[in-house]
Amino acid sequence: MRAIGVDLGGTKMSFGVINSDGELIDPHRIPTASTWGEMKTSIIDQVRRYQNDYDDIGVVGFGAAGMVDLNGYVHYSPNVPAFDNGVGAQQELRDELGMDVFVDNDNNCAGYAEATFGDGAKKAHTIFVGLGTGIGGAIIINGKVIRGEHGYAGDVGHFTMDPNGPLCACGRTGCFEAFASGSALGRLARDYAKRGDAPNIVSAVGNIDNIVGLDAGKAAAQGLSDGIAIVDEYSRYVATGLVSLVNIFDPGKIIIGGGVVELGDTLFVPLRMHLQEYAQAGYNFDDDFVVPAKLGEHAGVIGAGAWALSQV
- 204 touches Zn ion by CB under 5 A: no
**How many residues in the shown chain lie near Zn ion by CB under 5 A?**
5
> What is the number of other CB atoms lying within 10 angstroms of the CB of residue 45?
11
Kindly state the smallest distance separating residue 180's Cβ from Zn ion, in Å.
11
Residue among 90 and 181 whose Cβ is closer to Zn ion: 181
Instruction: Give residues 46-65 in contact with Zn ion (rule: CB under 5 A).
Output: none
Kindly state the smallest distance separating residue 67's Cβ from Zn ion, in Å.
13
The DSSP secondary structure of 251-280, one letter per residue, reads -SEEEEESGGGGGTHHHHHHHHHHHHHHSP
Instruction: Give residues 153-192 in contact with Zn ion (rule: CB under 5 A).
Output: 158, 168, 170, 172, 175
Residue 119, helix vs strand vs coil: helix
CA pair distance 310, 10, nearest whole angstrom: 26
Longest CA–CA separation in the chain, Å: 62
Residues in a beta bridge with 67: 76
Q: Report the first-to-last Cα separation within the chain, whole angstroms.
A: 10
Strand-by-strand arrangement of the 135-141 sheet: 144-145, 135-141, 126-131, 253-257, 290-292
- 75 touches Zn ion by CB under 5 A: no
Residue among 158 and 294 whose Cβ is closer to Zn ion: 158
CA angle 235, 104, 240 (to 5 degrees): 15
Residue among 180 and 267 whose Cβ is closer to Zn ion: 180
Q: Amino acid identity of 197?
A: D
- 302 touches Zn ion by CB under 5 A: no
Query: Per-residue x/- marks for Zn ion, 101-140, CB under 5 A?
Result: ----------------------------------------
Residue 103, helix vs strand vs coil: strand
Residue among 176 and 234 whose Cβ is closer to Zn ion: 176
Residue among 123 and 172 whose Cβ is closer to Zn ion: 172
Kindly state the smallest distance separating residue 95's Cβ from Zn ion, in Å.
35
Residues that bind Zn ion (CB under 5 A): 158, 168, 170, 172, 175
